[in-house]
Amino acid sequence: MAVNNKIYVFHIRKTDGRGIFLHPFEEFDKIIAKGGTFQIEGRYGEEPVIESLTAFRNILYRIVEESVNNWITESRFIPRFLMSAVIFLFVYFFLSFVIRDPLPMVDEIAAGIGAAVFSYFLLGVKYKKTGKAASLRAHYRGIIDRIVFMESSFALSLEAVLRKMEGTDLEKMSMVVKESEEFSNLMSEDCIDERGLLLSYIETTIKKQMNPRQKKLINKIAVNGLDRSSNLLKELDLIEITGEIDIYLLMVYLSMRQVRFQQPVSE
């Protein structure tokens, strides 16, 4: 991650009144691997409650903890593997030449594998407690502590579009979206940075939330365009879409892609 790179996180009030956070930190291991530092800025439409912001920070703390542990252990894979191999050989030859038993090789191999596996995981625990790991945790927790949320016209427009779609037939949703003034605001050049990040966050969530069949269907709609996908939309209406990306947010996403983005979602 380049130094001083700015990342937006979004709090979006959905049509059912529930607030969700869209962010890129589910793959925090990749951010750690790139190194550097960055600044996180929060954006909201309707102001979230303090409890919601606190819960979100706690989620990010947990992600940082797990991601640092994963990155540390994976980055030390080779020395852990070599050390475990050495321990396996030592235990195997020690038992083979020092301790005689009626079943040659069987006990030695089993004991060697057990010792190697135990040492591999023991080294992983040790690496998680190193100064490097502690420094990384403190660095990223500090970035999280400095997140400031502020009102965003982009988030306000998105929430307004979502409200206008509520109760609308699926086939009419795209017209409601595209004909709304708020959607024009979302697609303006002034919102290019926020829009690009929001689309990438939604796409990441789609990959995680939906099965391959569902993603293929969404790709077809995105490629064909909403205006020429009435049959696909009917099929989409039969799909249970739950979680952070519901049918309303998905339709806004597809409408944005039809206007500016044409690459299909990765399977």
Q: Is 13 strand, coil or helix?
A: strand
Domain boundaries along the sequence of the chain? 75-130
Longest Cα–Cα distance of the chain, Å, equals 84
Q: 230-233 long-range CB contacts below 8 Å, 24 or more apart?
A: 230/171, 233/170, 233/171
pLDDT of the residue at 160: 92
pLDDT of the residue at 106: 60
* CA 77/CA 124 separation, integer angstroms: 9
Sheet with 19-22, strands from edge to edge, namely 19-22, 5-13, 38-44, 148-151
Mean pLDDT, rounded, for 94-117: 69
Q: How confident is the model at residue 221 (pLDDT cuts 50, 70, 90)?
A: confident
Mean pLDDT, rounded, for 174-193: 86
pLDDT of the residue at 100: 62
Complete DSSP assignment for 50-109: HHHHHHHHHHHHHHHHHHHHHHHHHHTHHHHHHHHHHHHHHHHHHHHHTS--SSTTHHHH
